[in-house]
Amino acid sequence: MKAILKTCTAMALALAVTTPSFAQLKEIGAGEGEVNIVAWAGYIERGETDKKFDWVTKFEQATSCKVNVKTANTSDEMVALMNEGGFDLVTASGDASLRLIAGKRVQPINIDLIKSWSTVDERLKNAPWHTVDGVHYGVPYMWGPNVLMYNTKAFGDKPPTSWNVVFEETTLPDGKSNQGRVQAYDGPIYVADAALYLMKHKPDLGIKSPYELTEDQYKAALDLLRQQRKLVGRYWHDAFIQMDDFKNEGVVASGSWPFMVNILQGEKQPVASVFPEEGVTGWADTTMMHVDAAHPNCAYMWMEHSLSSNLQSDLGVWFGANPSVPAACTDGRGMLTKELCTTNGFDDFEKVHFWTTPTSKCATQGDKCVPYYRWVSDYIGVIGGR
């Protein structure tokens, strides 16, 4: 954690970005034989988990680029791995992407080499988490919400409508307290979930964005998280451990990803998910290329593949996420359908507060916000009971 803190502090101190001075690829040549990717769990499947879900095998056969994957559980872990080097690509969320750009760990992308760029969702093409001064530092991958997952047996015919079931001590519909039966995300960006809750329940604080917090707003969010600490049975960051906790350890409510909801429901577990009344945070992930990528040709081939293959459609089904290529909802390239896209929240883009890196310069609070390195150190303290 000390290493992550040091990394996050350095990245967050300044987000004034200058374009790295290196020769950007002008054309795609022969593949180098492999591509090394840092990715979220479930993002790169080759049919090993479920034979129906495979968007790697055909790519490898067509390009002779072997796909090697390192799974990361948090954005901070992704930043640390990219700082160490040895990787070509990363599927970075918005709370990591700007830090990677500011730290000059990723390079601008020559979108002229991405034939399918024109098919990318217009809402994502110039998104501020991967576009700086008109320069693109990545290719949009997937996006989705952080939903409230709950145990249907514990809640019966009264599903939760608010995040209060994880933030406030309360008696659940099964007649038992929620203490020790809820989880929270083990990542500093979770401070934003507390801030989002306060936007609804303490409007007098004046929070305009859960990622742009003044000292007073930030203190209120930390106080809520310290209150929550008494309820949390585990802080989760491993998707599969969280699923095991819901199955075997009596956990009944937590912020989660549709990925876990889908898998558990596929196993006939008594779980469901909702968008609570306060709204949700979420992630819009971008495939970004390391500044010192050893396999740039294979990397560009993969970025094109991520937009033009069955990946967008089948990953949308597998992860419960939304494609960055809208046509993937309807063109039959994979298992995704228009109805499934609607279920996954494709039309709720404006309702999701997407992860982004908190900085002291903030439009909604007169450039007097608490920067991310403080979120890192203070959230470690919250988890530790301080």
296 and 307 belong to one structural domain: yes
235 and 312 belong to one structural domain: no
Burial readout 21-34 (b: 16 or more C-beta within 10 A, e: otherwise): eeeebeebeebbee
Burial class (CB in 10 A: 0-12, 13-18, 19+), 3: exposed
192 and 340 belong to one structural domain: no
89-92 and 34-40 as β-strands: parallel, antiparallel, unpaired? parallel
Element (H, E) at 333: none
49 and 106 belong to one structural domain: yes
39 and 135 belong to one structural domain: yes
**Tell me, what CATH number does 40's domain have?**
3.40.190.10
What DSSP state is assigned to residue 272?
A: E
328 and 378 belong to one structural domain: no
> How far apart, in whole angstroms, are the C-alpha atoms of residue 97 and residue 94?
5
Task: Name 132's Cβ contacts closer than 8 Å, sequence gap at least 6.
Answer: 17, 98, 101
368 and 240 belong to one structural domain: yes
> How far apart, in whole angstroms, are the C-alpha atoms of residue 141 and residue 302?
11
SS3 at position 121: coil
pLDDT the model gives residue 19 = 40
232, two tokens: 């949390």
Task: Name 110's Cβ contacts closer than 8 Å, sequence gap at least 6.
Answer: 24, 25, 26
pLDDT the model gives residue 194 = 98
198 and 269 belong to one structural domain: yes
pLDDT the model gives residue 343 = 84
118, two tokens: 């024109």
336 and 277 belong to one structural domain: no
CB half-sphere exposure, 33, CA atoms < 13 A:
0
Number of domains in the chain: 2
209, two tokens: 């964005």
167 and 314 belong to one structural domain: no
367 and 262 belong to one structural domain: yes
Which domain range does residue 326 map to?
Answer: 2-144+283-349
Q: Mean pLDDT in each 10-residue stretch from start to end of the chain (386 residues)?
A: 41 40 77 97 93 97 98 93 97 94 96 97 95 96 96 96 98 97 95 98 97 98 98 94 97 94 93 95 96 97 98 94 96 95 89 92 93 95 92
> How far apart, in whole angstroms, are the C-alpha atoms of residue 168 and residue 164?
5
SS3 at position 273: strand
231 and 376 belong to one structural domain: yes
Q: Which phi and psi (to 5°) does residue 242 adopt?
A: -60, -40
pLDDT the model gives residue 25 = 86
Longest alpha-carbon distance in the chain: 64
pLDDT the model gives residue 344 = 87
